[in-house]
Every structure is written in structure tokens, then in C-alpha cells.
Amino acid sequence: MAQKDNKKEDKKQGKDKAQSSNKGAEAANLPLFYKKPAPLDAKAHASLSLNKNFGFGFTEGVNAIPVNLIEMPQICHFYPIAFSPDSNATPVAILGLRDNENLFLKGKDWEPDSYIPAYIRRYPFIFSELPESDQLTLCVDMNDDVISEKGEQPFFDKEGKPTELSNNALEFCKSYHAAAQQTVEFSKTLSDSGLLVEREAQINVADGKRINFSGFKIVDEKKLAELDDKAFLEWHKKGWLPFIYAHLFSGAQWQRLTKLLNERLEKEAA
């Protein structure tokens, strides 16, 4: 299943790409979570289905996830929003305060009543570029935990046509891709503006212990207030200011993470 698009997949989103645990050059630089993404094919995958309620176990061990610009107003009510320290300045939702820990994962379920970032909801689907082409192809991760033979949610019907599941996945990936392109432009401008500064969050947890969480950047409010009028008006016209403010408002969610971590520490100590 292919979607023609002259724009490339969101390669510039820094933490969107991750080194797979698989060995070999072919496993390098795969997007986060994906192990064996393959283009959906009516003949090759005629009998394949998506498992029902496979859960969010695939997010275990991840403490930050890329987010798109348009979802930042929702993200800011649940997660701190930071930016990757590299030149890509990828916006990320912070999911945990310790390495390899997602505090929002409860077994295979997500923390109740919490917004789930689109990057996570997109899985196991993703767009991929065809070599020497401007087409984007709908792929699915061939993960045995989420894909099976002749299940209740097939990708293709008996006539070889995409099912509603596959069509919905295609539309979601199209929307995600468009949002990712807007995010890349926003992030580049923000990175070039000089407004981002490195920060370290000092978190006080149970038993008087302190966790230092670093390796991210935030917008410096003082520098934002001193932004020249030309740049401020340009960002206003582009509609970017609400997303800057969403990032700033999200700082309150460090307390939420602290609460979740303390709850987990109590269970670990029991």
C-alpha cells in the first residue's frame, strides 16, 4: 500500500530513530520500537492479522517519546515536554525519570485517563520510503507479539483488498507524516533561534533520595521575552506560539512524574 508524497519521512526527528537491539547493519537506524517493518502486500500478507488488544508492552524501557507539534497542547497536561539536545531539537514527552523506565506503563496497559502520544498509537504501522522514489509505503512491524496468522483483524479481505483496519492505518500515517513535517520546520527554527538551553531536573523522591534527570533542552523564558518583534510576529503568523506555551506549561508535569515514581518505589520496597 503506497501513498505518493514528495516529502520524505520524518528522518530528522532525532529520537524518532533508534539503534535496534538486533545485530547487523540492516538493523541499524530503525525507528524506535520497530524491529522488522515491511511493506504491506496483499499477496505476501493475505493471511496476516493484527492481534487484538496487544497492549503497550512494546514501550517498556523507553523514558522519552517523540511528539508532533499539533499534539503538544494535549501532551502538556500529562507529560513534561522537552527537546532533544542535538541540532534537531526534537520535541519529546518525558515518560520516566530513570533510565529504561516508562512510568506510564502498567503491565501492558497505559496509565488510566492519560493521553497516549501519536507515535505510540501509530505502532505497528509506519510509512517508509521506496528506494529511488517519492512514494511513501504503508509498512507494518513484523513482530510476533502483535501480528499473527488468520486472526480476527486481517489486513486484507478475501478479494485481496485492504480492510478498514488497513485503510484507517493508512489515513493515520498520512496525518502523522504531515504533522511530522510541520514539526521538523518548527524544531529547526527553534534550534536556530537560540532560545533553547540545557537543563537538569532535580527530583526529590522517597527516603530523601534525589534523581538528577539531564540530557534535554527547554525554552528559556527570559530569552523568549527578549525575542525580537520580527521573529515573534513570524512565529505568530505560523501559529507556533501556542505550542511554545504548551511546552512551558508542561513543566508542571514533573510533579506528576515524581508522584508516579514514588508510587513505583513504594511497590519495589514492599
Per-residue pLDDT of the chain (270 residues; tens, 9 = 90+): 654 444 444 433 433 333 223 333 344 588 999 999 999 999 999 999 999 989 999 999 999 999 999 999 999 999 999 999 999 999 999 999 999 999 999 999 999 999 999 999 999 999 986 656 668 899 999 999 999 998 889 999 999 999 999 999 999 999 999 999 999 999 999 999 999 999 988 888 877 788 888 899 999 999 999 999 999 999 999 999 999 999 999 999 999 999 999 999 888 887
pLDDT in the model for residue 138: 94
Q: Say what the pLDDT of residue 47 is.
A: 93
pLDDT at residue 212 in the model: 87
Q: What pLDDT score was predicted for residue 61?
A: 93
State phi, psi for 147 to the nearest 5 degrees.
Answer: -120, 140
Domain of 265? 2-269
pLDDT of 1: 60
Residue listed under C-alpha cell 493471511: 47
DSSP single-letter state for residue 42: T
* Bridge partners for 139 per DSSP: 39, 126
User: What pLDDT does residue 22 have?
Assistant: 33
The contacts of residue 31 (CB under 8 Å, 6+ apart) are: 16, 17, 18, 37, 126
Helix axes 229-238, 164-193, angle to 10 degrees: 180
Domain count for the chain, please give it.
Answer: 1
HSE of 51, CA atoms in CB hemisphere, 13 A = 14
